[in-house]
Chain A
Amino acid sequence: MDHTRSSKLTWLLIAIVGALTVCPVLMLVLGSFSEGLTAFGDFTTDKYVEVYTDPAFFEVMLNTTIFVLGSSTLSTVLAVFLAYLNTRTDIPFKFLFKIISIIPMMIPHLLFSVSWALLLNPSNGLINLGLMEAFSLDNAPFNIYSMWGMILIEGLLDLPIAYLIIAPAMASFDVALEESSRVSGASSWRTLFRITLPVLRPAILAAFILGVVRSLASFAVPSVIGMPGRVQVLATHLYEMIATGFATDYGKAAALGMSVLVASVTLIVVYRALTAESEKYVTIAGRGFRPTVIELGKARMPLFFVVGVLSFVLIVLPVAVLLYTSFVPYSMVPSARAFSMMSLKHWHDVLSDPISLLSLKNSLFLAVVGATLGVILSIFVAYVIVKVKTRASGVLDSLSYLSFSFPGIVIGVGFMWFFVQTPLYATIWALLLGYIATYLPYGIRPMSSAFIQIHSHLEESSLVCGASPLTTMRRIIVPLLVPGIVSGWILMASMFVRELTLSVVLSRPGTEVLAVQILRFSEDGLWGRLSALGIVMIGISTALVVTATLIGNRFRTV
């Protein structure tokens, strides 16, 4: 694409993405500097002074740092491990592993956390009870209500995001680089650490950074696991600020949220600096791109066993707990009595409830239409970020993270303050635009990882042969981007099916969505209905993932 066109495209995208993401953040900035409870009031800096001089602030930040770095490291390491085995080796049942490595994303985080509390709470957690009986222990060996529990659960929840960013890059990796290393006498481990991982640095860093930003904004794990364990992190500190009293000052919460925004933008700048020379990471050029499979040999079955155990712990246990809870009349430890009391009552209640059914319809619409529009926008944004690489494209990159970086419980109010000034307020379109604006990085990151690995020679050759830029995009770039597109679409669609933080503020009669309905059940303590609707949600997400994967496979073979 020539310079003028690139420049026009960049500025057009800055205008679109900026309109989507800057407006709510701007409203929050105004609110943080305004007296009173709305975005418009007399100027004051009191809210900043109050928030940042709070004696609890430093302990909260220390806990937050440990939690965020711990969970992001865990999710990234696990994602690299799973992605490598799935995409590069001859490990058996690959399709199954691919699906199970993304299922945690489909489970509402609240339910996932509650399931783990049922398994590992120190009073009567099922795993603890089993271990105490098996080893004649007096005390429960594990206490999920702790920092390590929070890191474990958040790490598992963020694993799919990391996996969907790293796997496409791993799939597009030119194995000739590794072969050259081995031919030169390097061992497999040396090749892994000196060739494979460094070449995948942009994808790994992107996954890690997205994990950091996500866990900074996460509320379910700090609330369900951290609060009972009295481990306070930024999200619960913010919640305390919002929940104490009736005249909630979201401006004050926004003032605190600004530090998260600054941290996130800094991370993005660091990421761009670390991956500045993107040509180093190009592995699909015009010649000999062929992803090949590495034979695991004797390690095949032991590694399969490790992944199997991981998958069981990640997927089977929490989903089994959900299924079980949806059949028993109230929260009960499994027993003969509990099984004798099972019924379909919660399922009947949920499936005959008109609001639950309307929520299902709305969430499905938002997932399919929202993810499709989001992915189309993400393709262009990722192209500009990776291939145009001007200062303006750096601005675009940072803009795309703006809403995403803000803690969830605050950004929803920013959107409300913004949309209430427009005719879109209280419509499904406000939700659609809010979702795309907030979760744009879910589309952009996998696409960027994929773009980084496509050499500009391919594009140039097409243009030299007389194809227009759009034809080049359609015939050359997009087919090579299919793994990234599928990943981006799955990430966005699954997120939109379970999106809560914006929906809880923007949803109104007629625009109810699944996650808000689930929250209602949770607030009423109706765990049975909540689990039944949660399983419906997982079913929808699974159907979307399978469909997207099948369509992706079809396009790849064309």
Chain B
Amino acid sequence: MKKLFAALFVVLMAVQAHAQDKSLLDRARTEGKASFYANITAIEPILKAFSADTGVKAEYTRISTSKFVATAITEFEAGKLMADVVQAPLPVLDLLKARGVLASYRSPAAAGYPDWTKKDDRIQLFGIEYVALIYNKERVKAADVPKRYEDLTLPKWKDKIVMANPANHATTISWLIGLKENVFKSEADWRKFLAGLAANKPMFVASFGPTPAPIESGEKLIGISMPKYIVTKAPAPLDWARVSQPMMGTPRAIAVTSKAPHPAAARAFVDYWLSKKSMDILAKDVGEYVLAPGVYPPIDGISKAKVIAIRELSDDEIQKWGAEFKKIFDVK
């Protein structure tokens, strides 16, 4: 009897959720569109699928991380925030939450996500901006591929490395701190790694975007970069070093805005974004590491890799460590 009641309860809940979904979608269609501010790239296929499946148009404004907070807060304070949904690294959404920009919304589509991804009733994590050692597989012999992060300090890599500027690139700064907290046994070991990496004179570029080109062309052989380029830049001869230590990255987060011009469309969009279908597109077309259970990018070996989210660093910490790395890496 208990089982029967339980089954009945589940059916009732499902019917109610379906009815809610339908009502939400009807309202979203009436509103017409959802406006999405994001720093994530190449997501047009998801927007297209959302419009086709729901009949609601999705408008995408891409804003770089450095301009995200300034743009969102300026518009919000002037009463002109056009975004219904915002997506950015977790620290950015935390800053927006503190300013009252985010609304409370717990999407039913996040039900299967791990608990740690549900930050609070406003922010949902859906991916990790994962970082790895990416190398040119035509120019680096299998035996030479690093087995541990420490291998990057070997003299054979001198003048052969490219990485984003560790003095100012927030994700690289966070990644280096992630190594200290998650990989190296002591601070002394970590500092030795930093000194060795600096001695190899890596070439610095502004962000991750320009890192794969010099590796593909052979100008450099290896870089601290993102595995997603193996997908987006195919057939470039890129591969990732399967180091014995975990991969790390900054969590990617999404939320609905508190004064969303299209509140129902905003919620419908977040539901769709977190669905398995969208996460599949994000992983397969864009090579992103997503947190929907069982969904992986089509990169050999990634499904077995340990990928962890880096602790959230405050701006003060990032600036402090940026200044420290500037000295260590002799950035002028």
Contact = CB atoms under 8 A, between A and B. Distances in A.
Whether A associates with B in a native complex is yes
Interface of A: 37-40, 59, 63, 118, 121, 123-124, 145, 223-224, 227-228, 230-232, 239-240, 242-248, 250, 329-333, 355, 413, 416-417, 420-421, 425-426, 504-505, 508-509, 520, 522-527
A519 to B, nearest CB: 9
Of all A-B residue pairs in the complex, the 4 with the closest CB atoms, nearest first, are: A330-B236, A245-B315, A331-B217, A523-B209
Interface stretch (B89-97, B122-130, B288-296, B297-305): B89-97
A438 B62 CA distance: 23
Interface stretch (B23-31, B163-171, B263-271): B163-171
Interface string B270-313: 00000000000000000000000000000000000000000000
B67 A420 contact: no
B157 interface: no
B146 interface: no
Contacts of B170: 243-246
A426 B165 CA distance: 32
A504 B319 CA distance: 25
B41 A524 contact: yes
Contacts of B213: 331, 525, 527
Given A420-B80, A509-B60, A525-B213, A245 B75 contact: no
B332 A59 contact: yes
Nearest to B78: A420
B64 A523 contact: yes
B207 A247 contact: no
Given A245-B315, A246-B89, A332-B216, A240 B168 contact: yes
B151 to A, nearest CB: 21
Given A232-B332, A509-B60, A524-B232, A244 B74 contact: no
Contact of B318 (A245, A504, A508): A245
A121 B207 CA distance: 19
A484 B78 CA distance: 42
Given A227-B204, A243-B66, 6 more contacts: A37-B70, A331-B236, A332-B217, A355-B44, A425-B80, A504-B64
B153 to A, nearest CB: 19
Contacts of B103: none
B168 A329 contact: no
A230 B332 contact: yes
A244 B236 contact: no
Interface residues of B, number: 63
Interface in B150-177: 159, 165, 167-170, 173
B165 A227 contact: yes
Contact of B35 (A232, A250, A509): A509
A525 B92 contact: no
Counting chain A CB atoms within 10 Å of each CB, the highest count among B60, B165, B167, B322 belongs to B165
19 contacts: A227-B204, A227-B205, A228-B205, A232-B332, A244-B173, A248-B70, A330-B216, A330-B236, A331-B217, A332-B216, A333-B218, A413-B70, A420-B74, A420-B75, A421-B78, A504-B67, A524-B42, A525-B229, A526-B232
B168 A523 contact: no
A123 B78 contact: no
B262 interface: no
Contacts of A118: 217
A246 B315 contact: yes
Contacts of A417: 74
Counting chain B CB atoms within 10 Å of each CB, the highest count among A37, A224, A243 belongs to A243
Contacts of A522: 209-210
Contact of A228 (B167, B173, B203, B229): B203
Nearest to B314: A245
B194 interface: no
B59 interface: yes
B206 A508 contact: no
Contacts of B322: 240, 244-245
B65 interface: yes
A541 to B, nearest CB: 24
Contacts of B159: 123
A121 B219 contact: yes
B237 to A, nearest CB: 8
Nearest to B42: A524
Contacts of A59: 332
A232 B64 CA distance: 22
B317 to A, nearest CB: 9
Contact of B232 (A123, A223, A421, A525): A525
Given A124-B217, A525-B233, A38 B74 contact: yes
A526 B286 CA distance: 13
Contacts of B319: 244-245
Counting chain A CB atoms within 10 Å of each CB, the highest count among B67, B170, B229 belongs to B67
Contact of B219 (A39, A124, A355): A124
Contacts of A426: 80, 82
Given A332-B216, A333-B217, A526-B232, A250 B70 contact: yes
Contacts of B20: none
A38 B77 contact: yes
A527 B210 CA distance: 9
A329 B236 contact: yes
Interface string B95-112: 100000000000000000
B167 A240 contact: yes
Contacts of B95: 246-247
Counting chain A CB atoms within 10 Å of each CB, the highest count among B210, B212, B220 belongs to B210
B119 to A, nearest CB: 15
B97 to A, nearest CB: 12
A421 B79 CA distance: 9
A224 B68 CA distance: 23
